[in-house]
Amino acid sequence: MSEHDPATRNGAMTRRGFIKGALGGGALTAITAYEVFAIQPEPATGEKLPPPTGPTSTLSSADDQTDVLERMRVELLRALDKPRADRRWVMVIDLRKCVGCHACTIACVSENKLPPGVVYRPVIEEEFGTYPNVGRRFIPRPCMQCDNPPCVPVCPVSATYKNEDGVVVVDYPECIGCRACLTACPYSARTADFGLTYTQDAPLAAGLIAGRDAGAAYEKASNFEYGTEWPREGHESPIGNARKCHFCLHRITAGELPACVTTCIGRATLFGDANDPTSLVAGLIARPNVTRLKQELGTEPRVYYLT
């Protein structure tokens, strides 16, 4: 990493200090974070770039030198160093930045190998107004990870519950598949796995074309929800279970942001530890333009929307 020793670059010192402080230095993670986060692009000449006219500051302001994705990842690593009960994972979705691309939906489907009929994070589209004064809005809907989740008490075997990180999880092997939680969820955030696959009816046509077996490769591959390997075979869980967004606990634990967050091309979906006052999300949920879905039900969602 000597190629880009920050000491030789202006502005970097302070940042290094910040990172050090934030990550207690030392840790491998800290170095990674530092590597990726602290790098300052070197201006063509010795001094800083002059600010372009007007409000555009992308080229000049140091804070813009890192994608929010990297900022959030560094904050994630920081949060992972805390006792689990001290973290408060929240998701913030900036509807002004959501462009309705549905990348998050598909990223989630791919990450968790969701079969037909199962979806954790649809993006709802709305059109309003009359020509030529028209409006369109796009509303992603993950699980709200309610702090008062109606889906939990109705489970006859407590297979679903809020874990210590405050994430509402489904313990697949415990779930009997009664779908009471589906009915109870006011956000339709749960769907049931009926054991289908997208390629199940494709022709086998061995030798003539790739055929079903080759075509099913990615679908049959295991997913790693909750940090456990779940091959898709027979009638084994998660088939027959209720399924839902789990804030990608398996990725978080591995120091990787949730799949829907990393692929958000609008940078509209933000994630982090609200208990960390310096975190991006902590700042955002204190804004006046924050709202939550169906708050009146008292579910206390952990997903916040900026409007």
Partner 1 sequence: MTTTRRVLYVLAILAVVLGIYGFGSRLLFGERDVHYGSYVNWGLWVAMYLFFAGMAAGSFMVASLDYVFDIPLFRNTGRYALWATVVTLPGALILIGFDLGHMERIWKVYLQPNFTSLLAQLVWTYSTFLVVAVIALVIAMRGTRTALKPVMVVGLAIAIFVSGGVGALLGVNAARVSFQNAMLPAQFPVLNLASGIALLLVMVGFFGVLADPERRIRLVRVLSLTLVALLGVKAYFLWVDYSQALYGQTQEAVAVAGQVLFGPYAWAFWVLQIGLGVVVPAIVLLMASTSRRPPLAALMGVFVLVGLAVGRTSIIFPALAFPEFDGLTEAFTGPHLGLDYEPSLMEWSVTLGVVGLSTLAYLIGTDRLPYFKRTPEVAS
Partner 2 sequence: MTRDPGATTVDERPEACGLSRRNFVKLSAIAGGSAAFLGGMPGFANLVKAQESVVEGANQYPLVDPANQVYTVCLQCNTGCGIKVKLLEGVATKIEGNPFHPMTMYPHIPYETPIADVGPVDGAICPKGQAGLQTVYDPYRLVSVVKRKPGTKRGENQWETIAFDKAVSEIVEGGDLFGEGHVPGLRESYVLTDKDLAKQMADAIKKITDAKEAAEKVALVEAFKVDFADHLDLLIDPNHPDFGPRNNQFTFAWGRLKDARKDLISRFLGAYGTTNAHGHTTVCQGSLYFTGKAMSEIYTDGKWTGGTKFYWQGDVGNAEFAIFVGASPLEGNYGPPFRVPRLTKNSVDDGMRFVVVDPRYSKTAAKAWKWLPAKPGTEGALALAMIGYLIDNDRYNKAYLAAANEAAAKAVGEPTWTEATWLVKIEDGKPGKFLRASEIGLADKELRPLSTDPEKTFEFDYFVALVNGVPTPVDAYEQDPARAVRGDLLVDNQVLSGITVKSSLQVIADSAHEHTLDEWAEICGLDAADVAEVAREFSAHGRQAVADIHRGVSQHTNGFYNVLAWYTLNAMLGNYDHAGGLIKASTYKADGSKAGQPFSLKQGTGGIAPFGTSIIRHNEKYEKHSLFMRDGYPAKRNWYPLSSDVYQEIIPSIGDAYPYPVKNLMLYMGSPVYSLPAGHAQIPILTDPKKLPLFIVIDPFIGETSMYADYIFPDQMYLERWEFQGSHPSVAFKIQPVRNPAIDPLVPDVTVFGQPMAMSLESLLLAVAERLGLPGFGEGGFGDYGDFVHPDDLYLRMVANLAFGEKEDGSDSVPDADTDEMAIFASARSGIRPSVVDMDRWSRIAGENWAKVVYVLNRGGRFEAYSKGYTEGVLPEPETTPFGFDTTQAAHPFGTLINIYGEKTYDTKSPMTGEHLAGYAKYYPAPVSVLGEPLDDEAQGFDLRMITYREIMQTKSRTSSNYWLLALRPENFILINVVDAQARGLKDEDVVRITSASNPDGVWDLGNGRIVPMDGKVRTTEGIRPGVIGFSLGFGHWSYGSVDFIVDGTTIEGDGRRMKGVHANAAMRIDPYLGNTSLIDPVGGSAVFYDTLVKLVRV
Token look-up 């942001």 returns 257
Nearest-angstrom CA–CA distance, 113 and 255: 20
- The one-character DSSP state at 127 is E
- Regarding 119 and contact with partner 1 (CB under 8 A), the answer is yes
- Regarding 136 and contact with partner 1 (CB under 8 A), the answer is no
The single residue among 15, 16, 73, 78 that binds partner 2, judged by CB under 8 A, is: 73
User: How far from chain centre, in Å, is Cα 114?
Assistant: 16
What's the token pair of residue 84? 């689990």
Q: At what angle do helices 12-23 and 68-80 cross, to 10 degrees?
A: 30
- Regarding 263 and contact with partner 2 (CB under 8 A), the answer is yes
Distance in Å, CB of 240 to partner 1, minimum:
3
- Regarding 306 and contact with ligand SF4 (CB under 6 A), the answer is no
Long-range Cβ pairs for the range 153-157 (8 Å, 24+): 153/184, 154/180, 154/181, 154/183, 154/184, 155/180, 155/181, 156/180
Name the residue nearer to partner 1 (CB basis): 106 or 280.
Answer: 106
- Regarding 8 and contact with partner 2 (CB under 8 A), the answer is no
Asked if 288 contacts 305 with a C-beta cutoff of 8 angstroms, the reply is no
Nearest to 86 by CA among 276, 297, 240: 276
Name the residue nearer to ligand SF4 (CB basis): 143 or 239.
Answer: 143
- Regarding 109 and contact with partner 2 (CB under 8 A), the answer is yes
What's the token pair of residue 54? 């007007």
- Regarding 122 and contact with partner 1 (CB under 8 A), the answer is yes
Asked if 76 contacts 155 with a C-beta cutoff of 8 angstroms, the reply is no
Find which of partner 1, ligand SF4, partner 2, none residue 288 binds, CB within 5 to 8 Å per kind.
Answer: none
Within 233-252, the residues that bind ligand SF4 by CB under 6 A are: 241-242, 244-248
- Regarding 189 and contact with ligand SF4 (CB under 6 A), the answer is yes
**Binding window for partner 1 (CB under 8 A); candidates: 15-23, 39-47, 185-193, 267-275:** 185-193
Asked if 199 contacts 219 with a C-beta cutoff of 8 angstroms, the reply is yes
- Regarding 235 and contact with partner 1 (CB under 8 A), the answer is yes
The single residue among 150, 211, 215, 240 that binds ligand SF4, judged by CB under 6 A, is: 150
Q: Which residues bind ligand SF4 (CB under 6 A)?
A: 98-104, 107-108, 111-112, 120-121, 123, 138, 140, 142-146, 149-151, 154-155, 157, 159-160, 168, 170, 175-181, 185, 187, 189-190, 241-242, 244-248, 258-260, 264-266, 268-269, 299
